[in-house]
Structure 1
Amino acid sequence: MSSTTSPAIVFDPAEGLRSREVSLRAAGPGEVEIEIRAAGVCHSDLHVVTGDWPSDRSLVLGHEAAGVVTATGPGVASLKAGDHVVLSWFAPCRRCRRCVAGMAWLCTGTKAVANTHPDGTTPFTDDQGEPVWPYLGLGAFTRRLVVPEVAAVKVPDELPFGIGALLGCSVTTGVGAVVNTAGVRPGESAVVIGTGGVGLSIVMGLRLVGADPVIAVDLSAERLATARRFGATHTLDGAATDVAAWCQREFGGVEYAFEAIGNPRIIGTLPDMLTSGGAAVLVGMAATGATATFNAFDLADQGKRILGCNYGSSIGELDIPKLARLYLSGHLPLDDLVGRTRPLSEAAAAFDDLRSNTGVRTILEP
């Protein structure tokens, strides 16, 4: 089977983050080869770099990306060379009970979270012929990759690649948290803790469904100003404000509290922000093994709920094309979510952009 080589951004447990040449085998049965045109830099990648999510193997990072199909393997029916696609990192098996029940985001058969293809293999090798593994089954910080057909979602050709990249994770997660996980209705109130890429996408989702008021909380004045542009009606400095007390004083509590950071201490305060019957939605991914503490009596007595949110409770094949159409029709201001564009070689600097808390996304172009 022939292979091609290209530079990739690899995290190695012993050597850290670095650029390496990797070889990519050809697409096999049920697989597609894609030329990456844009990749977003997400906190899920940063969690690996910082050690919050430990890895015992070398990983080609990147899971938020868009590109063009360059080849298809035997049996691929939904895609052809030249199609524009967004990568969906949570590639469902389509066969387990959760998939059959229409909850593919809870698929128990996917191998994506194990950083492999469905058959447990990787399409990447290093210059010594040793396997290098695709982060979340993709490994998008490179020029070309091979993914299972289900992980590539066809989108309109007029969708900009940078916008498509964001649909692969942050936007689908944030808007999905509002529409799918929480089911927020017009006129319902919400607070959003953390206004990074996912938090801003939550704000956009709340604006899309007509929620009011929408309260954004962050430590950065710059990010809060951005949240205003995206539809927040109120903004609070989380360091200077007791958010729970403020929500209770101003509105008698809110109906939804979204946490988009993954901070266990903050997660524990969410129920105190809620009115009776309200729901706390955990969107930010915490470190492995992290725990939070709640007032169990208050949850039961006031009928409050804690909702876990993985990938915005989204099915990539259904939700990504919907979001693409909403963007193209002017209903999602995603251009404002794209900050700096960097070449792939500046991935380390892109992670610094992410740490700087500007809120918008850095896009890498291979």
Structure 2
Amino acid sequence: MKIRSAVLRHTTSQRPYRDSAPVTVEELTLGAPRPGELLVAVQAAGLCHSDLSVVDGNRVRPLPMALGHEAVGVVARVGPGVTDVSPGDHVVLVFVPSCGRCRQCAAGRAALCARGAAANAAGELLHGPPLLADHTGTPVRHQLGVSAFADHVVVARESAVVIDPDVPFEVAAMFGCAVLTGAGAALHTAAVRPGEAVAVYGLGGVGLSAVMGARLAGADPIVAVDPVPAKREVALQVGATVAVDPADAAALIAGLPEGGVDVAVETAGSAGVLDACLAALVRGGRAVAVGLPHPDSRLGTSALAFAGEGKQLLGSYLGDCVPQRDIPRFLALWRAGRLPVEKLHTATLTLDDINQALDDLADGRAIRQLLRFGASCDSADAATPAKTED
């Protein structure tokens, strides 16, 4: 079938992107779902810094590539052998298609699936080579097994989590990356405990989800750090007890009763910020690396911080979540008013707005922009769950 998709053919850091236009909207041919795959009509897809890092070359991926890795859609067709999903089901798409059989999956660490990681690195799907091709017949790679900046996609069954159909698309889309990665970093990777002091550096969709996760865990205080005042304001709305500019963060954290925090979460994709996280910890504290810095980045922290002070540096991918388990749990918390994900939504755009959206993301003006496909946008009222007391 023919689809419209956002395609990256060359990386560039030349800005503004609305002028350099690294991403083009093209008509591609999409093959039919193979055994173990689904054809999904995309309804909403979120723009994430992980997408930006592919465009500017910080994350090296095989090109040309159809972009997009955070989305929600409606199943249009199932491939042979798929018996637990039906056409018409609503599904959140996730960027790690965990196979369920490798050593990591068997250990309960679905986010680190070895087969899924290999397929993602090659720009393929879990069950086979790319199904996308341009007008010349040249294969186009899939981004993280999803390629959701398109009206239709084929994904592995393992990349889709079935959800209730009453969840608004503009809310559900953010659960595939932002919520899993951020809330999971606090709840799973760091395993924040009630009463622990937490600092979150970087307040995009992932960072604000980490703030919400820390609040769910009972952390106090929760310090939110970002240079953008509007993002700091949202952080206070979703659970932070104080929000500060990075220039003021070190002094504020040093002034806390214990002289630091128990947990510091880095979501900015900066080695320097990760150094600041380690410096902010009390003895025995835990720093969680969530952002994606350039592969050549190096830390400047003293090695003695670990054995000498008992500090821990923890890597977190997809928030150490198991999507089939955790997306339903997080959606239940959203329904209860305890995970106000709708506050992350900054703008709703069309596929043709993609390069301008990259500029807004790079400039820090946006938290979560959503590209909308299919029916008209859900109303703001429909996207707000019933409130309950905390």
What is the rounded CA distance, in whole Å, between the counterparts of 2:127 and 2:87 in structure 1? Answer: 23
1:200 counterpart = 2:197: no
Report 1:1-366 matches (<5 A): 4-13=1-10, 16-110=22-116, 111-238=119-246, 240-241=247-248, 243-251=249-257, 252-366=259-373
TM-score by length of 1: 0.95
Report which stretch shifted further, 139-148 or 342-351: 342-351
Shift in Å, 1:249: 2.4
Report which stretch shifted further, 15-24 or 30-39: 15-24
Work out whether residues 22 and 124 of structure 1, in 8 Å CA contact, stay in contact via their aligned partners in 2: yes
Report the secondary structure of 2:144's partner residue. helix
What is the rounded CA distance, in whole Å, between the counterparts of 1:199 and 1:145 in structure 2? Answer: 28
Amino acid aligned to 2:151: R
Amino acid aligned to 1:244: A
Point out 4+ residue stretches in structure 1 off by more than 6 angstroms. Answer: none
What is the rounded CA distance, in whole Å, between the counterparts of 2:171 and 2:133 in structure 1? Answer: 30
Shift in Å, 1:175: 0.4
What is the rounded CA distance, in whole Å, between the counterparts of 1:232 and 1:246 in structure 2? Answer: 14
Work out whether residues 61 and 121 of structure 2, in 8 Å CA contact, stay in contact via their aligned partners in 1: no
Work out whether residues 283 and 310 of structure 2, in 8 Å CA contact, stay in contact via their aligned partners in 1: yes
What is the rounded CA distance, in whole Å, between the counterparts of 2:135 and 2:112 in structure 1? Answer: 36
Report the secondary structure of 2:59's partner residue. coil
C-alpha deviations, 1:184-235, integer Å up to 9, x for none? Answer: 0111110111111111111111111211000011111111111111111111
- Unpaired runs of 5+ residues, structure 1, are none
What is the rounded CA distance, in whole Å, between the counterparts of 2:112 and 2:61 in structure 1? Answer: 22
Work out whether residues 62 and 122 of structure 2, in 8 Å CA contact, stay in contact via their aligned partners in 1: no
Shift in Å, 1:323: 1.2
Report the secondary structure of 2:295's partner residue. coil
Aligned residue pairs, count: 361
What is the rounded CA distance, in whole Å, between the counterparts of 1:20 and 1:172 in structure 2? Answer: 30
Report the secondary structure of 1:269's partner residue. helix
Report the secondary structure of 2:84's partner residue. coil
What is the rounded CA distance, in whole Å, between the counterparts of 1:56 and 1:202 in structure 2? Answer: 30
Report the secondary structure of 1:268's partner residue. helix
Work out whether residues 7 and 22 of structure 1, in 8 Å CA contact, stay in contact via their aligned partners in 2: yes
C-alpha deviations, 1:159-186, integer Å up to 9, x for none? Answer: 1111111101011100000111010011
Report the secondary structure of 2:287's partner residue. strand
What is the rounded CA distance, in whole Å, between the counterparts of 1:336 and 1:218 in structure 2? Answer: 17
What is the rounded CA distance, in whole Å, between the counterparts of 2:82 and 2:46 in structure 1? Answer: 26
TM-score by length of 2: 0.90
Report the secondary structure of 2:196's partner residue. coil
What is the rounded CA distance, in whole Å, between the counterparts of 2:62 and 2:110 in structure 1? Answer: 27
What is the rounded CA distance, in whole Å, between the counterparts of 1:18 and 1:93 in structure 2? Answer: 32
Report the secondary structure of 1:211's partner residue. coil
Shift in Å, 1:63: 0.3
Aligned to 2:14: none
What is the rounded CA distance, in whole Å, between the counterparts of 2:370 and 2:127 in structure 1? Answer: 30
Shift in Å, 1:286: 1.2
Amino acid aligned to 1:345: D
What is the rounded CA distance, in whole Å, between the counterparts of 2:31 and 2:114 in structure 1? Answer: 27
Work out whether residues 22 and 355 of structure 2, in 8 Å CA contact, stay in contact via their aligned partners in 1: no
Report the secondary structure of 1:178's partner residue. helix
- Unpaired runs of 5+ residues, structure 2, are 12-20, 374-390
Amino acid aligned to 1:13: H
Amino acid aligned to 1:279: R
What is the rounded CA distance, in whole Å, between the counterparts of 2:319 and 2:184 in structure 1? Answer: 4
Shift in Å, 1:56: 3.7
